[in-house]
Amino acid sequence: MSRKFFVGGNWKLNGDKKSLGELMDTMNAAKVDPNVEVVCGAPSIYLDFVRSKLDAKFGVAAQNCYKVAKGAFTGEISPAMIKDCGVNWVILGHSERRHVFGESDELIGQKTAHALESGLGVIACIGEKLDEREGGITEKVVFAQTKVIADNVKDWSKVVLAYEPVWAIGTGKTASPLQAQEVHDKLRAWLKANVSEAVANSVRIIYGGSVTGGTCKELASQKDVDGFLVGGASLKPEFIEILNAKA
């Protein structure tokens, strides 16, 4: 089954209207492979601005959201508000949410369920820490994280699974193509055994962690690597090279 290549940019807590505006000008003018689905994760305060400036062929994502539509939750944003800005995606379970802000698997599961019920697509992130990889428990960790997400998903067509080894995020230490392929393959097998063969074959599993213009092509050539979630390099013109990794 063919899975449309998917590249997410995760701008994190970076940029301002000037620099993000320039980045979007570059993206809008670039020649981008029409066979790639592109989604830019913008800071929540700029969602409206980004959605209005970025070409409609590119998607936009929030980088987080809360698990209910509205109420007394100071500082939070909801899927309903994200959709009200014309934005159709949200990144959930990013390792920085998990490990800097202490979000639990349970909360990430609840957010996933609510975001999907509200009609957003979800880029659901999972990944092991360095000590977990060195301790030989990578599979155990990513399967457990995937299970909590899977328990909260009814429609997998709206989910992209992002495998992001924590030791590779923002470190310049990209997983090797074989390391990425190995985990993606195991995740697909897990989905086959625990969800369904159809979902295992159709869900996009993307890789994140120090992806660059230099590393993207070989990673993209791996059978089970269906795209990327890109942090640092998504803020640079180099992002265009990554969008065109399969072209």
For ligand PGA, the binding residues in 118-177 under the rule CB under 6 A are: 164, 169-170
Bin 84: left if φ > 0, else alpha if -120 < ψ < 50, else beta: alpha
- Per CB under 6 A, the list member of 81, 166, 229, 242 interacting with ligand PGA is 229
Nearest to 145 by CA among 204, 91, 177, 187: 187
Examine residue 10 and tell whether it contacts ligand PGA (CB under 6 A): yes
Rounded Cα distance between 126 and 190, Å, is 14
Minimum gap (Å) between residue 125 Cβ and ligand PGA: 7
Minimum gap (Å) between residue 96 Cβ and ligand PGA: 7
- Per CB under 6 A, the list member of 60, 211, 242, 245 interacting with ligand PGA is 211
Dihedral of CA atoms 5, 10, 15, 16 in degrees, nearest 10, equals: 80
Residue 169 burial (CB count, 10 A): 21
Choices 46-54, 57-65, 69-77, 203-211; region in contact with ligand PGA by CB under 6 A: 203-211
Minimum gap (Å) between residue 168 Cβ and ligand PGA: 6
Reply yes or no on whether 238 is catalytic.
Answer: no
Examine residue 232 and tell whether it contacts ligand PGA (CB under 6 A): yes
Q: Which is nearer to ligand PGA, 208 or 227 (CB)?
A: 208
Dihedral of CA atoms 166, 171, 176, 180 in degrees, nearest 10, equals: 20
Tokens coding 183 = 């985990």
Can you tell me which residue has the tokens 């700029």? 46
Q: Which is nearer to ligand PGA, 210 or 222 (CB)?
A: 210
Examine residue 179 and tell whether it contacts ligand PGA (CB under 6 A): no
Q: Which of 37, 96, 128, 164 is catalytic?
A: 164
Reply yes or no on whether 37 is catalytic.
Answer: no
Tell me the H-state helices in the chain.
Answer: 17-29, 47-53, 79-84, 95-99, 105-117, 130-134, 138-150, 177-194, 197-202, 216-220, 239-243
Residues that bind ligand PGA (CB under 6 A): 10, 164, 169-170, 208-211, 229-233
